[in-house]
Structure 1
């Protein structure tokens, strides 16, 4: 018989053999008539999928939830959770979350972008929302679910050329102020970021088994490109890591949280210092731009800087091209003046 009850369950189960495979599902009902109906519907669905080649469908809400679950434990999970909550609310303004994912179309997204602009949010915020949606669609496609027909996600252009960086005096002032914080992690973290031009999450997930104090280098895992880079340490960063090895020797992480786990955001104590010093438009990621700009200004090529930053290609470093041109011009005039 295709439906039956298990000893440890009050529900009926159904067992269907199709294409040499056996599919067993709970009908989630104690009534035989409903169980038989469930079995019939499931058999028809499996036939369409496995024999006729139809793809299974999924609601937008379930797709979002499954995508979020697939990212559990990732370094960026806290930020992703925020984006998922935002996306759930915003999408519901233009399309029911209980509707099938494949019913989503370009008109819905165009209207969504228009509404968000009326809300007064930045283009960068809108693009981040759409990037999260794109991740959900890519996940659902790889999972084999039926996709929207010819869905085009609107392209949002964001001008990243004007990047906030620290002046030399601001950098000195920031470090001097961080030294006064009760937690030495604040100063140590910012110095490591300044001296490596690494992303915040790359330093936060740095483990002691990736630190080579003898050779003065660290092995950074680049989460964006899934590659590893070897970064040489400056003298002050090496001193910091030598000191921290004795204070965090019981942790696998170089910068563990108060509970010993992985940090996921910039500590509030550092963010408060940014505000206290009046660093308008500055965030922790701006430290990376500060170091990259400093290197280009002092003659390092864009190609070399792109390698240090862990960019997948040199086009990612084009925002510093005007600095390279100035550095080259200064080198040229120095050579010509002396010859």
Structure 2
């Protein structure tokens, strides 16, 4: 019998011999009819592969999970999980890879753009999706040959906040601000007030540290030294660590949060884990503040631009931003040139 229970109890097992090789696995079901159906499907799959040269199918969900599990580095796995969340929200991940078509990839890109996501983020999403297909192909599963849409980071003009725009933005993020259709601050739920305060505090830290969103959103308290006013910032993208000193308002924010902490994370989700990629509330504040086309990553540009405008060199700013090469910081060179040009004018005027 190819379908049986071990010791007459528990789940049914499937076992049969095909061309001298024994195949056996659990059906994970106590229903004999279900186990028998699975046995027939398994036999058909093996016959198609061995006799007809057909490759087995695998679902998108299983391919992504296997691809993530194959990554030895925890930070890499976290990066993949972050982007698979976006993929799951736009794809039926229970479908087989062989069912994915070119048009579904183009649709995914269009929907992400409509959400206001940057081309750079979409590029990462597609790279993670592509990696799942590559893993499946390397492990002998049926994969279609697809034309992957391109996603190129914009070469548009560098965007950063003026001081006036920052005031406007922080006003729109103020947790105590009156909101049309919502009760006064004191009567709002604890969860709503906490969420709004998190958005405000996170933006302040991003403005004053120049850190990437994920570096601050997922930071733990053991990286914060309140006595010395230092933040030991681990940067997963470039795999290095920076030590940043807190500005007065960053210290005020972290001191308040430290006294109220109930998780090892500075910005925790409802279950006490890391906040993760939750930017909808911040992006809505950009719109209310009239900051058309402004992105969360532009807060990092704002910090860098202000440092250069107030006398720091590109090399020094590269260290603050955690760039592995000063060449990456060259995008701010035109800002430094404004100060250089001003100095040149003053020198010429004295001659």
TM-score with structure 1 setting the length: 0.69
Runs (5+) with no aligned partner, structure 1: 90-95
The Cα RMSD (Å) is 4.8
What displacement does 1:178 show? Answer: 4.6
1:294-309 pair list within 5 angstroms: 294-309=306-321
Number of residue equivalences: 320
CA distance in 1, matches of 2:39, 2:202: 62
In structure 1, the residue matched to 2:298 is 286
Of the three residues 131, 137, 150, the one matched with 1:138 is: 131
Could you report, residue by residue, the CA deviation over 1:260-314 in whole angstroms, capped at 9, with x for unpaired residues? 443331373x555434432222343321111111122234333433332234544
Could you report, residue by residue, the CA deviation over 1:108-135 in whole angstroms, capped at 9, with x for unpaired residues? 5489549977999599667755642331
What displacement does 1:140 show? Answer: 4.2
What displacement does 1:192 show? Answer: 1.3
In structure 2, the residue matched to 1:93 is none
1:315-326 pair list within 5 angstroms: 315-326=327-338
Of the three residues 153, 160, 165, the one matched with 2:160 is: 165
CA separation of 1:226/1:87 partners in 2, compared to 1, >3 Å: closer, same or farther?
farther
Partner SS for 2:14: strand
In structure 2, the residue matched to 1:262 is 274
Of 135-144 and 26-35, the range deviating more from structure 2: 26-35
1:1-339 pair list within 5 angstroms: 4-6=4-6, 7-9=8-10, 11-14=12-15, 24-26=24-26, 30=32, 57-60=57-60, 62-63=62-63, 74=78, 80-88=84-92, 97-98=95-96, 100=98, 109=102, 113=106, 128-129=121-122, 131-142=124-135, 144-146=139-141, 153-175=148-170, 178=173, 181=176, 183=193, 184-248=197-261, 250-257=262-269, 260-264=272-276, 265-266=278-279, 268=281, 270-271=282-283, 273-334=285-346
Q: Is the 8 A contact 2:11 2:26 kept in 1?
A: no
CA distance in 2, matches of 1:34, 1:179: 59
Runs (5+) with no aligned partner, structure 2: 177-184, 186-192
Of 112-121 and 183-192, the range deviating more from structure 2: 112-121
Partner SS for 1:305: helix
Q: Is the 8 A contact 1:57 1:145 kept in 2?
A: no
Q: Is the 8 A contact 2:109 2:122 kept in 1?
A: no
Q: Is the 8 A contact 1:222 1:228 kept in 2?
A: yes
Of 8-17 and 236-245, the range deviating more from structure 2: 8-17
Partner SS for 2:274: coil
CA distance in 2, matches of 1:188, 1:117: 32
